[in-house]
Amino acid sequence: MRPFIYERAESIEAAVQAQIAAGQRPKNIASVHAPGQYLAGGTTLIDLMKLDVMRPQTVTDINALERSPAGTIEFSPKGLRLGAMVRMAAAADHPDIRENYPVIAQSLQLAASAQLRNMASLGGNVLQRTRCTYFRDTSYASCNKREPGSGCAAMDGYNRTHAVLGVSDNCIAAYAGDFAHALIALDAQVEVAGENRDRLVPFAMLHRPPGDTPHIETNLAPGELITAFLVPPIPWARRSLYLKVRDRESYEFALASAAVALDLDGGVARNVRIALGGVSALPWRAHAAEEALQGKPLDDDSLNAAAEAAFADARAREHNAFKVALGKRTLVRALRQAATMEL
């Protein structure tokens, strides 16, 4: 691992200032890498630093923020506020989240391992980086996400786990997280602290599609710190779930997943929210599938039409074409399960 400066921030303001200062230090590595990173649970950052994929000069430890509003879970008439320093396990096991927003609890419960969930934070979770082998292994020279302009070895390499939705000619890496799909399905917002202002960002605007710049993954400005996620009050989110399909039933990333929430009037869909994971380059809201179900009874015809709409723009490569069929089946199964949930 390369040497780096370690600092510990005791407040949100101090953390942001530390990262702004990090950006102003002369760069000791000629690279596109962000000069500073926040250290939350460290379960992704430290791995990537050891692999020499991420090379921050300054690492700002924000674990002290667990004792600030960034470390709390709150319910109010405005909905659910999840502090970014809340550990995954704390949110996954929270009885009110399990009851009122099961899709959130399940997306966290089905992620990683118990040890990782105890350590990892919600903020770090949504900013985790892809598990694409060509990104994580620096012995591959071609990775536009790691070294812009170097090409994408996954295009014609082994691409079984790669994305089919939201991909570009420069990158087909899949977004690996689970929780983000629950947040995007529920129209969550992200509370961000910056140098001169705090702001609220729709979660759907946090991540960027790979396009021509796959190395720029979010719309966060340098130094900006996520402090919380705000989930609006959606009483019918009690009928929601996260279905994750993977190569083994635990401690594995999704091959395909669906985060769904349903508001039913009799058997008819009054409101539907759908996000798809494992198959997409970024957290993915399936608006076309939602529209296909709006006002319809949830029968085989409408469910299949929704699945077709969800994957109409899919672009598969040699080894990941199965994800189109798997993704459709995952979505249909998730919707059927949600429709029959006992509330």
Chain residues in the site for ligand FAD (CB under 6 A): 37-45, 84, 88, 111-112, 116, 120-121, 123-125, 127-128, 177-179, 225-226, 253
**Least distance from C-beta 326 to ligand FAD, angstroms?**
17
The greatest distance separating any two alpha carbons of the chain, rounded to the nearest whole angstrom, comes to 63
Q: Quick one: which of 340, 335, 232, 208 has its CA closest to 276?
A: 335
**Least distance from C-beta 59 to ligand FAD, angstroms?**
8
Structural element, H or E, at residue 173 = none
**Least distance from C-beta 243 to ligand FAD, angstroms?**
14
Between 108 and 292, name the residue whose CB sits nearer to ligand FAD. 108
**Least distance from C-beta 155 to ligand FAD, angstroms?**
25
**Least distance from C-beta 129 to ligand FAD, angstroms?**
7
CB 328 within 8 A of CB 334: no
Angstrom distance (rounded) from CA 278 to CA 242? 12
Between 155 and 282, name the residue whose CB sits nearer to ligand FAD. 282
**CA angle in degrees (0–180, nearest 5) for 189-303-252:** 60
Task: Please give the residue whose beta carbon sits closest to ligand FAD in the complex.
Answer: 124
Residue 93, classified by CB atoms within 10 Å of its CB into exposed (0-12), middle (13-18) or buried (19+), is: middle
Q: Which amino acid is at 106?
A: Q
Ramachandran bin of 278, using left for φ above 0, alpha for ψ from -120 to 50, beta for the remaining angles: left
User: Which residues, other chains included, contact 343 with Cβ-Cβ below 8 Å and sequence gap of 6+?
Assistant: 238, 239
**Least distance from C-beta 341 to ligand FAD, angstroms?**
23
C-alpha 154 chain-centroid distance: 21
SS3 state of residue 197: coil
Between 84 and 260, name the residue whose CB sits nearer to ligand FAD. 84
Between 226 and 331, name the residue whose CB sits nearer to ligand FAD. 226
Between 178 and 290, name the residue whose CB sits nearer to ligand FAD. 178
Between 9 and 261, name the residue whose CB sits nearer to ligand FAD. 9
Task: Give the CA-trace dihedral at 96, 100, 102, 108, to 10 degrees.
Answer: -50
**Least distance from C-beta 284 to ligand FAD, angstroms?**
14
**Least distance from C-beta 251 to ligand FAD, angstroms?**
6
CB 105 within 8 A of CB 88: no
Between 112 and 276, name the residue whose CB sits nearer to ligand FAD. 112
Between 248 and 266, name the residue whose CB sits nearer to ligand FAD. 248
